[in-house]
C-alpha cells in the first residue's frame, strides 16, 4: 500500500494514506516545464519583473552571497579535513565600506 502518515496534533483518529508525489497546482502554465520543479521560472520572472516593472528583488547581491558562501565554504572545509572556515561578513558596515572586499579579521 501507500505510505501512511499521522499528525499527533492534528486531531487525526487514524493514520492517513499519503501520495508523496509533489505536483505544484498553482504554478502558471509557462512555469510548468521550466525546469527544477518550476523553480527556474520564478527566478527568471522575478528578474524580468524587476527590469520591466521596477519591482524589488527578494534576493539582493548580499542575500545571494550570504546564501551561497556557506555552501561553497562547506565544500572547501571538507577538502581541508573538515577544518572550520569563517563565513565573511559581506555587507558594508563600520568595519568595511561598500565596495571593499571582506577581510579575514
Whole-number pLDDT of residue 71: 95
- Which pTM value belongs to this model? 0.51
CA distance 100 to 62: 13
Beta-ladder partners of 4: 17
Whole-number pLDDT of residue 75: 96
pLDDT in tens, 52-88: 999 988 878 889 899 999 999 999 999 999 999 999 9
pLDDT in tens, 9-22: 777 778 888 777 76
pLDDT band at 104 (very low <50, low <70, confident <90, very high): low
Instruction: Collect all residues with Cβ–Cβ distance below 8 Å to 55 and sequence separation of at least 6.
Output: 46, 49
CA distance 46 to 52: 10
Amino acid at each position: 500500500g501507500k505510505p501512511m502518515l499521522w499528525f499527533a496534533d492534528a486531531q487525526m483518529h487514524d493514520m492517513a494514506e499519503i501520495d508523496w508525489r509533489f505536483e505544484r497546482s498553482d504554478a502558471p502554465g509557462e512555469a510548468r516545464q521550466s525546469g527544477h520543479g518550476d523553480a527556474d521560472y520564478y527566478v527568471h520572472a522575478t528578474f524580468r519583473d524587476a527590469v520591466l516593472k521596477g519591482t524589488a528583488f527578494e534576493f539582493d547581491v548580499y542575500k545571494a552571497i550570504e546564501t551561497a558562501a556557506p555552501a561553497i565554504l562547506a565544500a572547501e572545509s571538507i577538502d581541508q579535513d573538515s577544518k572550520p572556515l569563517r563565513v565573511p561578513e559581506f555587507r558594508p558596515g563600520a568595519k568595511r565600506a561598500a565596495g571593499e572586499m571582506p577581510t579575514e579579521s
